[in-house]
Amino acid sequence: MIIKRIEKDEDGTVTLFVCADVEGGEPDYSQLEVDRLVEEGKFPSLQADNQDINSAMAEAMSSASSMQIKVMQGASSPQGADAMQTETVTDKYSDGYFDSYASLEVHEVMLKDQPRMEAYSQAVQRCKHLIEGRAVLDVGAGTGLLAMLCAKAGARVVYAAEASSMAVDAAAIVRANGLEGVVKILRGPIEELDLPEKVDVLISEWMGFYLLHESMFPSVLFARDRWLKPGGLMLPSHSNIYVAPVSMEKLKQEKLNFWDDVLGLDMSHLKTQALQNLVSTPQVDILAGDQLLGEMRTFATINCNTVTDLELMYGIRAFLLCSIVIHLDGTFCERGRSRGATAVAARRAMAVA
């Protein structure tokens, strides 16, 4: 693959922007394919696009702390030679990912999640001395609630990034609360926005069912690596996923055994299709205590300050035996200090039959 550009962050992380050598007969790899090859140790050979790139790479790698590889989609064609759009953002556009966040119902559910919202509010207040007079970035700002909480905590400026049309409503809400002088609504994916400065604090409400379901966290990591100052504050700073075996007999009866007898007729032929439908999407439910068949155990712990995309993709794999229930929490701490941390423990359960 051809190295088209090299960037080195302040923490020593070197990013190689590459494209396929199509003229040399190399396949036009996607980002996912490249990540898989890296994991398997079968990554194709790299070659610099020119001597300047070669010299820059030698200099950057001499003191690099880590390295990551980003595929420049379409850069192997003349029209795409300068393209920096990654496949991840393109895919989110094509499948209506951002449009789904324009729905008021999505934000209503989130705002009515009292344990979660109180945890964020308490974290902002507890970190007020780290927010006052400083620049803050809110990734996936939605209605602008977290951005406004940071503004009221004394932030000098809050950049609120929101890719959906909810950004228009957020701007109106910010004006209605008299905070337009501090909160700046930026519409667009964070991967495409150009902030006027690096920030001291990054806050985001990115946690979905079983923590990672919304696929928003990679965008938060991009924002962290691109815009957060070294030693800056991440809110939340750590997250855990917990698992436990559970009994889902009621769900099994309602969704599967139902087909055994429908008005006296055997329709069990449809049970296989019903099972496929059941396991293909998260089942969100409130469970009774007697449904637990064992103790909750920590399945994965994520350090939001240091975790990488590759670690998320390859380091956290769910091996589901029978039925399990998963819930999440997030910890807010001051630059690595966990004293007095508040956990987001909304106990939102996802059961897989």
Residues annotated catalytic, as ranges:
205, 214
- Compute the half-sphere exposure of residue 353: CA atoms within 13 Å on the CB side of its CA: 20
Q: Which of 118, 121, 300 is nearest to 217 (CA)?
A: 300
Contact 7, 17 (CB under 8 A): yes
Contact 304, 237 (CB under 8 A): yes
- Compute the half-sphere exposure of residue 155: CA atoms within 13 Å on the CB side of its CA: 30
Largest CA distance in the chain: 77
Rounded-to-integer distance, Cα 249 and Cα 205, Å = 33
Contact 103, 111 (CB under 8 A): no
Phi and psi at residue 145, to the nearest 5°: -60, -55
H-only helix segments in 144-269 = 145-152, 166-176, 217-227, 249-255
In Å, how far from its chain's centre is CA 19? 25
Phi and psi at residue 230, to the nearest 5°: -55, 130
Q: Give the N- to C-terminal CA distance of the chain in Å, as an integer.
A: 43
- Burial class of residue 174, CB neighbours in 10 A (0-12, 13-18, 19+): buried
